[in-house]
Amino acid sequence: MKKTVTLTFSDGSPSIELPIEQGTYGKPVIDIRALGAHGYFTHDPGFTATSSCTSAITYIDGDEGLLYYRGYPIEELAYQSDYMEVCYLLLHGELPTTEQKTAFVQSIRHHTLLHDQMENVFRGFRRSAHPMAVMIGVTGAMSAFYHSGLDNFNPAHRIVVAHRLIAKVPTVAAWAYKFNEGQPFVYPQNRLSHAENFMHMMFSSPCEDYQPNPVLARALDRIFILHADHEQNASTSTVRLAGSSGANPYACIASGMASLWGPLHGGANEAVLRMLEEIDDVSKIPEYISRAKDKSDSFRLMGFGHRIYKNMDPRAAIIRQTCYEVLDELDLRDDPQFKIALELERIALEDEYFIARKLYPNVDFYSGIIFRAMGIPTSMFTALFAMARTAGWVAQWHEMLSDPAHKIGRPRQLYIGSARREFVPLDQRKA
């Protein structure tokens, strides 16, 4: 028998019975849709206890430190798969066969080039513009190039949109960097893998070829896998809400990028690196640990803690290992910032304050060190996150529009403004 919950009212109003749904995993969910018909809404700012949709893409168990894409643990995907397979998996629900993977990779490669006129869109920005500002603008501008004839409710059209975005966003990101640097744009090279191609567009120039290092390319590919999706976070929910009206998908992905850019979301890896620079020496760590624990000091240990993970972020363990691989490859094991990071982690994990609050290093704690070692500037960190997360955004957008019960997203509110009052003509208003 289906479990239900009964809502009773202190004023004697008739009680309401609500169904309880249970997903494959996770906490049971009270389906409150019937409440509206009874004259009630629920109030949950920040969606701390609200499921906004059903989804079969990603599952997180923050208490246990688990992350699954389509049922596959992130560890297995990170070590045994690659980003192209993961994109296919998120979008289609299954790992590809050899033929499916070949066709998918071919299609992504086929779409990496930007429309020639898009160069003019880049040139309209200030040279010093933040790469994320440029990415949001240029990705949004894709809606001007791919709009007529696009039917969001046609699954085949949606797949083409998804392929275009997965393929073109790395080109947009690399070109945003080149524009900052005052260097010519480098065209994608389709013989290269996804990560190698991005490195080629970032680091080669017309006068100097760039040979992607396979260890660094593999590390980048793994970072893309780790960041590909994270269920209904702020940017993904933004993409879903924007897309729920049937809006142009390129504009919707640009809105997701805008949300990701915020320092509470995708901007944390930049903050970690700034903090490590500020600490500067292992001997100063105890001072910063004390500051992090001091409630009168606004300083927090960047890269520690997570809204959902109250255990080790499973991505952090993988990226820590990747960090070792990259620093070994580049002969940077003695990198002072890496040493500070390791010591900070050791001290924090033994400290009662951090243990009691379940504050573990998160994925951002190490990604900045890896990017910096690869020569990627701090201003590009969130852009790389956006590139990787594009796969999740398009998969979630596609899933939402595939649902026959799909509705436009329209939250309610608890109005706390003035009650009805009479209009006062201008000459009769008092200060």
Q: Which residues are catalytic?
A: 265, 306, 364
Tell me the site size for ligand ACO, rule CB under 6 A: 16
Contact in structure between 363 and 389 (CB atoms under 8 Å): no
359 contributes a contact to ligand ACO by CB under 6 A = yes
CB atoms within 10 A of CB 334: 8
Of the candidates 104, 213, 235, 202, the one whose C-alpha atom is nearest the C-alpha of residue 159 is: 104
In the bound state with ligand ACO, the residue whose beta carbon lies nearer, of 235 and 244, is 235
Shortest distance, CB of residue 106 to ligand ACO, whole angstroms? 32
Pick the stretch among 111-119, 142-150, 207-215, 360-368 that binds ligand ACO (CB under 6 A). 360-368
Angle at 271 between CA 268 and CA 277, to 5 degrees: 150
Q: Measure the CA–CA gap between 42 and 5, rounded to whole angstroms.
A: 15
- Among 82, 270, 364, 399, indicate the residue that binds ligand ACO (CB under 6 A): 364
Shortest distance, CB of residue 308 to ligand ACO, whole angstroms? 8
In the bound state with ligand ACO, the residue whose beta carbon lies nearer, of 243 and 361, is 361
- Among 362, 382, 390, 396, indicate the residue that binds ligand ACO (CB under 6 A): 362
- DSSP secondary structure, 360-421, as one string: -B-THHHHHHHHHHHT--GGGHHHHHHHHHHHHHHHHHHHHHH-TT-----------SPPP-
400 contributes a contact to ligand ACO by CB under 6 A = no
Which residues, listed in sequence order, are joined to residue 345 by a DSSP beta bridge? none
Q: Measure the CA–CA gap between 76 and 66, rounded to whole angstroms.
A: 12
- Which whole-number Å values give the CA distances from 34 to 31, 43, 49, in the listed order? 8, 15, 17
236-275 as b/e: b if 16+ CB within 10 A: bbbbbbbbbeeebbbbbbbbbbbbbbeeeebbbbbbbbeb
Shortest distance, CB of residue 363 to ligand ACO, whole angstroms? 5
Shortest distance, CB of residue 9 to ligand ACO, whole angstroms? 32
Of the candidates 230, 227, 215, the one whose C-alpha atom is nearest the C-alpha of residue 321 is: 215
In the bound state with ligand ACO, the residue whose beta carbon lies nearer, of 175 and 385, is 385
Of the candidates 160, 144, 140, the one whose C-alpha atom is nearest the C-alpha of residue 152 is: 160
Identify residues 288-347 at the interface with ligand ACO (CB under 6 A). 292, 300-307
Pick the stretch among 9-17, 30-38, 329-337, 362-370 that binds ligand ACO (CB under 6 A). 362-370
In the bound state with ligand ACO, the residue whose beta carbon lies nearer, of 59 and 175, is 59
In the bound state with ligand ACO, the residue whose beta carbon lies nearer, of 202 and 302, is 302
- Among 89, 105, 241, 363, indicate the residue that binds ligand ACO (CB under 6 A): 363
Identify residues 250-269 at the interface with ligand ACO (CB under 6 A). 265, 268
In the bound state with ligand ACO, the residue whose beta carbon lies nearer, of 242 and 302, is 302
Shortest distance, CB of residue 64 to ligand ACO, whole angstroms? 17
Shortest distance, CB of residue 298 to ligand ACO, whole angstroms? 10
In the bound state with ligand ACO, the residue whose beta carbon lies nearer, of 152 and 382, is 382
Shortest distance, CB of residue 394 to ligand ACO, whole angstroms? 19
**How far does Cα 258 stand from its chain's mean position?**
11
Residues 6 or more apart whose CB falls under 8 angstroms from that of 31 comprise 18, 19, 20, 21
- Among 4, 357, 375, 402, indicate the residue that binds ligand ACO (CB under 6 A): 357
Sheet with 72-73, edge to edge strand ranges: 58-61, 66-69, 72-73
* List of residues contacting ligand ACO (CB under 6 A): 265, 268, 292, 300-307, 357, 359, 362-364
